[in-house]
Amino acid sequence: MSACLTDDELASLNAYWQAANYLSVGQIYLMDNPLLRHPLSATDVKPRLLGHWGTTPGLNFVYTHLNRMICQHNTDVLFVCGPGHGGPAMVAQSWLEGSYSEIYPRVTRDEDGMRELFRQFSFPGGIPSHAAAETPGSIHEGGELGYSLPHAFGAAFDNPGLIVACVIGDGEAETGPLASAWQGIKFLNPQRDGAVLPILHLNDYKIASPTLLARSSDDDLMQLFRSQGWLPMVVSGDDPEDMHRQMATAMDSAFSTIRALQHQYRQKTPPDTLVRWPMLLLRSPKGWTGPRWVDDVKVEGLWRAHQVPLSACRENTQHRLQLQKWMKSYQPEKLFNQQGQPCDYLQTLVPRGDKRMGATPYANGGRLRQALKMPDFADYAVEVPAPGVEKAQATAVLGRLLAEIIRHNPDNFRLFAPDETESNRLGAVFDVTDRCWMGTITPDDRQLSSQGRVMEILSEHQCQGWLEGYLLSGRHGLFNCYEAFIHIIDSMFNQHAKWLKTSRLLSWRQPIASLNYLLASHVWQQDHNGYSHQDPGFIDHVVNKKADIVRVYLPPDANTLLWVSDHCLKSWDRINVIIAGKQPADQWLTMQAAVSHCQQGIGIWHWAGNERDNIEPDIVMACAGDVPTRETLAAVDWLRLAQPELRIRVVNVVDLLALQPRHKHPHGKPEQEFEALFTRDRPVIFAFHGYPGLIHRLISPRANQSRFHVHGFNEEGTTTTPFDMTVINRLDRFHLALDAIQRLALPPERQKYLSAELEDKLTAHYRYVREYGDDLPEVKNWRWNGREK
Amino acid sequence: MSACLTDDELASLNAYWQAANYLSVGQIYLMDNPLLRHPLSATDVKPRLLGHWGTTPGLNFVYTHLNRMICQHNTDVLFVCGPGHGGPAMVAQSWLEGSYSEIYPRVTRDEDGMRELFRQFSFPGGIPSHAAAETPGSIHEGGELGYSLPHAFGAAFDNPGLIVACVIGDGEAETGPLASAWQGIKFLNPQRDGAVLPILHLNDYKIASPTLLARSSDDDLMQLFRSQGWLPMVVSGDDPEDMHRQMATAMDSAFSTIRALQHQYRQKTPPDTLVRWPMLLLRSPKGWTGPRWVDDVKVEGLWRAHQVPLSACRENTQHRLQLQKWMKSYQPEKLFNQQGQPCDYLQTLVPRGDKRMGATPYANGGRLRQALKMPDFADYAVEVPAPGVEKAQATAVLGRLLAEIIRHNPDNFRLFAPDETESNRLGAVFDVTDRCWMGTITPDDRQLSSQGRVMEILSEHQCQGWLEGYLLSGRHGLFNCYEAFIHIIDSMFNQHAKWLKTSRLLSWRQPIASLNYLLASHVWQQDHNGYSHQDPGFIDHVVNKKADIVRVYLPPDANTLLWVSDHCLKSWDRINVIIAGKQPADQWLTMQAAVSHCQQGIGIWHWAGNERDNIEPDIVMACAGDVPTRETLAAVDWLRLAQPELRIRVVNVVDLLALQPRHKHPHGKPEQEFEALFTRDRPVIFAFHGYPGLIHRLISPRANQSRFHVHGFNEEGTTTTPFDMTVINRLDRFHLALDAIQRLALPPERQKYLSAELEDKLTAHYRYVREYGDDLPEVKNWRWNGREK
């Protein structure tokens, strides 16, 4: 091993590490007496001991060595802390380097501040136990394991000056999302992207049992990562001095390799094959430098060190004495001066200003965010001479707008998808860019290049994680996905929504671009793939999150989709879900009408109904979603012909959460407006894209809601025709009209007659579809009839 | 390469493969003229061409070679079809071997049957396009990619006689769940388990772009899998003859290695280190044997072969002629006799009876299912001399019952968890078993062995996938998980629920044991881990599925948890979600009372309220969940003391879906019973475990629901004290009592006075918790006061 550290450097590094460890232990245990000026008393110790010690010293070790690299290379490094539950480490480091006190001036860098630092940790009204939004330098909470490396890649894309150092716990490494994340290397272009330096932290145990990777041999691990394109280096042991030397050597090697690769590829044409990047395998004991034995039981290096190794320091004097001895083993008197400030010699190890990892703007992406250069969406409008005359594929139209956005924002916007961009009919983007691909490209391949801005991997987890990292470090993007399979990232959505909710309360965190989902190939357009592909429930999951954060849009046609997409891409600190169709479909609104309709969120389509001024209609036919809108209009068409004296109102909902009352959601309609739309007491037949229960839930605080009869997806699915999908779920025109007839005060004979006519149509459908495997020509060729009937 | 095939054998194998390919193409394209007795006409072709050709010939190739192995070794093989969208392959194979016509007699094994076989595929009223529940021999739908290998492991556990051959698509292999699934090898014990033979099918492209693994070198792939414990063999090429020889050799080697390993380890003490199992890497062209070029564009071997390579055979004569040529290239006249039956010489390649993969009982687990030997749950009851006197940890009590179940069912029940069994306080199971672990075990390790029946890996995806495979092949299990992180498998839950819904309609599929979730460490007991760990939304997701399938239980204490768990473990074809606490908590019901309460699902707790016979109470205090129940009782305690003349009813809900009307859920209470519980019009203060919107949704069809005031999780979370978690979400006793007071017709002065008293208590809480980081002693020490107040 090269002697890259002098003895003095080693001593300083070790002292810095000890200071961080001291400050970490203090956070877990103490509410007073931070410098141990007098023997620890019971009341110095917190009544509830919370935190995760096990991973913390390893995190501090890595962070300290990264500081050395930053000082040496004057480079920007973003620290992604996979074991985010080791929160005390990042907080301690930020306080040591001064960034903490700059962001939170009440936590000064002196004895009082240290007391506050300790006390606030995992304390009511204080800070959470994880590396959360509150933590300077963090873009990653780490409570739910698996997403550190996807986040790291997302942050590195289009940030050529950045190195993202990503610590991955060996527990986290067992998860699916992390296991597939190593493949990210196949999408990282040294010409335009920064570097990702994974540090797999093998400390042998999870909460209760050994980890699979830590029990693998070094040989197997080297092979595992080499075979995926990495250049792994091992740093292993428990003797601090030896480990510092190993780590310094490995870091030197990693940083110089990264710089050499970047230099090499930035001089010449894009690489045409996989570029191999360095990574570290760090084997160190769990709870390193902590108590080796507690109550005659071995702790250090084992699962017992996972959380709070000395569990009863308030009640048990032995524990308290051991804690004191443990803290004193770091020799605080050599680390902090009389005022409790870090000693001057430690400051030489701290990077300057924004180069400090706790202060880097890359972890507070809003500081770097540049507004997207947006073309005028109206330029892409579909001509709609009259409602229902033209057909268009909504997402294909959007594809043309997206292509222009990509062209105008060559390093600030990417499109993400699990191999579905073409299938979702956004193929127009391939007129201006490719899929990103760093591997071999054959002559038969199409639309692949190392410069591509469409990120496709068959892993919804990577798409989501990459996009999150990309947004959190200040850029913009859109995730297009089959509607059913977006459930794969339900839990990642949760975590991002929680992050946004928290970060919006922190004045120092600048707003980041919204996370935008385009769910195409939706439940009503998966007739060919069958039941497994039919699930509209993601929005049920979404609306549980804070109203400030989430928006759900169901544009009924292409022009409304353009407005909604433009709106979402210009928004910040939100999660927008857009559900849109990809098949040729009727177009209803001119661009002008679309703008005004979308701005309202919910609107009456006067051209579709036949109510008379100042007289309430007999019935409201409401709809949300493209297919439900078509079926509603077809039902209205039939009803108006069959029963011309019937007064019908058609209401279309684009902005789903506008159905909620204003006190529940900022877009919610006040009661008066709601009644102006849906009347006070007339029956409402509501054709909804998703599960009917969601509408009931959204309108539950509204008066007189039992008059809402919601049709939607009733969990009936299979491989069949598109129209039959609506029939088996009773969302089709015939069932809607049947329901309408049953809710109206018609003469019984008339009701019976009309119902029989609709039943006949359904029978004809059942027969035809089973005979010919196709939909009735009458249904396929149906067009909205604009005349007054 | 060894010449393990004679020329005759090779010819028969190839013919069998061609027959399967012919039958696959026929399913995708034809509705008539199955044997091509006359030139294909437009009306022979289906109007809508649906299906996935690309993967199908590879699947047929593997299946055919597995048949050879089954005949040779007379062994049970279960075929797990990762690329389930290649549904035509399994259906074709099942028809060829006869199992299809046995299960579906209307699809006879002759020309008429072949016509029906072709016509029904992806046809309304027919069969779905994927290897779904309808498909003989399948336990895996494969529409949502990622779960084939976890299913395979699940099926292999405790089935020592079984070999699970699992084809994994190279697209699927990019997903997270599949990437981590390879680790399953570290849990497979050759002594007691069957074998898993993964066949990674590299056919180069996904829907639209190359796959990452197919573009890796053979060297890298060999290293990747070797380093994870596998013994990979490559079968690669496009010449059928050569490929048959390669495949036969590789299969011979794989099967003999499997048998040798099993023989070796079944003779001696359990293995104390990882056992290395064979696997195959199969490189073959996408759409192999299909059209090479279509309309002057190359198809075979590329993404263009993914679905229907000739897309317009009805309209386009050229396409139709090319289809005819393609189908004739398989020489159907040599494969099927004049009656359309498979020729006799093909029958020699078919395994016998239940050894046929389409007939194996392992894929119809209900045929093998043995009822669990259940100890009497009442033996584990907690003594409850009076409500609220004793404390117990509900899940710890359940742990003792589970230990007995494990002891009584040594090869029929496993417990699954992402390293959380101990944390969820089920540690009693380690008195009778260990965690399963095939890797190195050190002297410091505890509760690990190759015989362990607790399956712990830090991957919710593997836990879920393993359990599904275990259940689908006829066994029983329970998945214990932190409540927040069960969202990780939302989408897997969806797919299993869809599978159950479909399979319940198939008379030939026998019922399998229910999938049981125990969600401990729930939202109200994650105060220490913070916001990322706080999410009760899984049940919102669950209730979207068919009522027949799902059940949600919220037992308020230990004895009710025992009843519920016993009930769920004895049920079949369902998904049961149980949410229970792990912390020491008040116990309310004797075993006798618990049984009667749980049987009702919802009940009035007369001992807790003070209503008088035949007079409706002033208010109903309802609760669901352990913590909400405690807070409700504490609120009632306070209200009864503060306002003794107030008549209060306490209603507790164990069986959440009993809140729905009977027409929505079989457990739903008829309107009359609902009113008998909740009154007709009195205010109901409902303290709910989860998001309040769910209760509104469940009761939305009920009359007069605006009187329900639901408190629950409002998405407010952080690291704080347990009681503070309820306060910030307004689910605590003080907010509940405040709400009650505001809903009652009390004199304004009295209302004001009582409100002020409660506000004072809240202020005292806020002060105390921020000062001491702990909950008010008054709150911590609160006990239900059983006296009449």
In order of their start, the domains of chain A are 7-353 (3.40.50.970), 377-585 (3.40.50.970), 603-780 (3.40.50.920)
Distance from CA of B218 to the nearest CA of A (A): 10
Q: List all residues 6 or more positions away from A240 whose beta carbon is below 8 Å from its beta carbon.
A: A14, A17, A289
Structure tokens at A125: 């009204």
> If pLDDT is split at 50, 70 and 90, which confidence band does B704 have?
confident
Write the single-letter amino acid at A81. C
- State the Cα torsion A685-A688-A694-A696 to the nearest 10°: -10
| Interface contact B751, partner A, CB < 8 A | no
* Chain B residues with CB-CB distance to A705 below 8 A: 700
Q: Out of A439, A458, A772, whose CB is closest to B215?
A: A439
pLDDT for res B3: 57
Check: CB of residue A203 under 8 Å from CB of residue A286. Answer: yes
The pairing of strands B230-236 and B277-283 is parallel
What is the DSSP secondary-structure string of A456-511? Answer: E-S-HHHHHHHHHHHHHTT-EEEEEEETGGGGGGHHHHHHHHHHHHHHTT-TTSPP
Q: Is B507 exposed, middle or buried (0-12, 13-18, 19+ CB in 10 A)?
A: exposed
Q: Where are the beta strands (DSSP E) in A124-272?
A: 162-169, 195-202, 230-236
Q: Out of B124, B127, B298, whose CB is closest to A773?
A: B124
pLDDT for res A1: 42
Distance from CA of B297 to the nearest CA of A (A): 10
Section B601-624 average pLDDT: 95
Check: CB of residue A392 under 8 Å from CB of residue A593. Answer: no
pLDDT for res A274: 86
Range with the lowest mean pLDDT among A474-478, A784-788, B199-203, B282-286? A784-788
3-state secondary structure B732-783: CHHHHHHHHHHHCCCCHHHHHHHHHHHHHHHHHHHHHHHHHCCCCHHHHCCC
Q: Given a cut of 90, is residue A520 above it in pLDDT?
A: yes
The 10s digit of each residue's pLDDT in A83-133 is: 989 999 999 999 999 999 999 999 999 999 999 999 999 999 999 999 999
What is the DSSP secondary-structure string of B165-203? Answer: EEEEETTGGGSHHHHHHGGGGGG--TTTS-EEEEEEEE-
Question: Which 391-410 residues of chain A touch chain B by CB within 8 A?
Answer: none
Q: Phi/psi at B788 (nearest 5 deg)?
A: -75, 125
* Chain B residues with CB-CB distance to A141 below 8 A: 532
pLDDT for res A786: 63
Check: CB of residue A298 under 8 Å from CB of residue B444. Answer: yes
> What SS3 state is found at A403?
helix
Mutate to test the interface with B, among A45, A186, A188, A212 (most CBs of B within 10 A): A212
pLDDT for res B614: 82
Check: CB of residue B520 under 8 Å from CB of residue B532. Answer: no
Mutate to test the interface with B, among A140, A153, A175, A445 (most CBs of B within 10 A): A175
Section A659-676 average pLDDT: 94
Tell me which residue of A380, A389, A194, A384 sits closest to A277, measured CA to CA. A194
The 10s digit of each residue's pLDDT in B170-195 is: 999 999 999 999 999 999 999 999 99
> If pLDDT is split at 50, 70 and 90, which confidence band does A703 have?
confident
Structure-model confidence comparison of residues A271 and A625, the more confident one: A625
| Interface contact A777, partner B, CB < 8 A | no
pLDDT for res A462: 98
pLDDT for res B4: 81
ipTM of the complex: 0.97
Neighbours of B376 (CB within 10 A): 11
Q: Do B175 and A444 touch (CB under 8 A)?
A: no
Cα A637 to its chain centre, rounded Å, is 42
Q: Given a cut of 90, is residue B429 above it in pLDDT?
A: yes
Percentage of chain B exceeding pLDDT 70: 99
Write the single-letter amino acid at A56. T
What is the DSSP secondary-structure string of B695-733? Answer: HHHHTTTSTTGGGEEEE---S---S--HHHHHHHTT-SH
To the nearest 10 degrees (0 to 180), the angle between helices A56-73 and A87-97 is: 40
Q: Given a cut of 90, is residue B77 above it in pLDDT?
A: yes
Q: Given a cut of 70, is residue A3 above it in pLDDT?
A: no
pLDDT for res B240: 97
Check: CB of residue B686 under 8 Å from CB of residue B695. Answer: yes
Please, what's the b/e burial string for A491-516 (b: 16 or more CB within 10 A of its CB; e: otherwise)?
bbbbbbbbbbbbbbeeeebbebbbbb
Angstrom CA distances, A667 to A511, A656, B715, stand at 20, 9, 19
| Interface contact B215, partner A, CB < 8 A | yes
Write the single-letter amino acid at A321. L
Check: CB of residue B393 under 8 Å from CB of residue B581. Answer: yes
Range with the lowest mean pLDDT among A690-704, B153-167, B503-517? A690-704
| Interface contact B443, partner A, CB < 8 A | no
Q: Out of A128, A209, A212, whose CB is closest to B531?
A: A128
Section A509-538 average pLDDT: 96
The 10s digit of each residue's pLDDT in A212-242 is: 999 999 999 999 999 999 999 999 999 999 9
**Measured between alpha carbons, how far is B502 from A727 in angstroms, rounded to an integer?**
18
Section B29-36 average pLDDT: 98
Write the single-letter amino acid at A408. H
Q: List all residues 6 or more positions away from B707 whose beta carbon is below 8 Å from its beta carbon.
A: B681, B682, B683, B684
Mean pLDDT of chain A: 96
Smallest CA–CA distance from A483 into chain B, residue: B491
Residue with tokens 């009778």: B432
Section B672-701 average pLDDT: 96
Check: CB of residue A744 under 8 Å from CB of residue A618. Answer: yes
Section A245-265 average pLDDT: 96
Q: Given a cut of 50, is residue B139 above it in pLDDT?
A: yes
CA-CA-CA-CA torsion sign (A577, A578, A581, A586): positive
DSSP at A45? B
The 10s digit of each residue's pLDDT in B748-788 is: 999 999 999 999 999 999 999 999 999 999 999 999 986 55
Check: CB of residue A230 under 8 Å from CB of residue A185. Answer: yes
Q: What pTM does this model have?
A: 0.98
The 10s digit of each residue's pLDDT in A674-695 is: 999 999 999 999 999 999 999 9
Neighbours of A575 (CB within 10 A): 20
The 10s digit of each residue's pLDDT in B648-681 is: 999 999 999 999 999 999 999 999 999 999 999 9
Question: Which 574-613 residues of chain A touch chain B by CB within 8 A?
Answer: none
What is the DSSP secondary-structure string of B527-572? Answer: TTT-GGG---THHHHHTTS-TTTEEEE--SSHHHHHHHHHHHHT-B
Percentage of chain B exceeding pLDDT 90: 95
Q: Do B210 and A445 touch (CB under 8 A)?
A: yes
Cα B747 to its chain centre, rounded Å, is 54
* Chain B residues with CB-CB distance to A773 below 8 A: 31, 46-48, 119, 123-124
Angstrom CA distances, A94 to A87, A91, B531, stand at 11, 5, 22
Q: Is A756 exposed, middle or buried (0-12, 13-18, 19+ CB in 10 A)?
A: exposed
Q: List all residues 6 or more positions away from A292 whose beta carbon is below 8 Å from its beta carbon.
A: A298, A299, A300
pLDDT for res B182: 98
CA-CA-CA-CA torsion sign (B579, B585, B587, B591): positive
Q: Do A180 and B176 touch (CB under 8 A)?
A: yes
> If pLDDT is split at 50, 70 and 90, which confidence band does B1 have?
very low
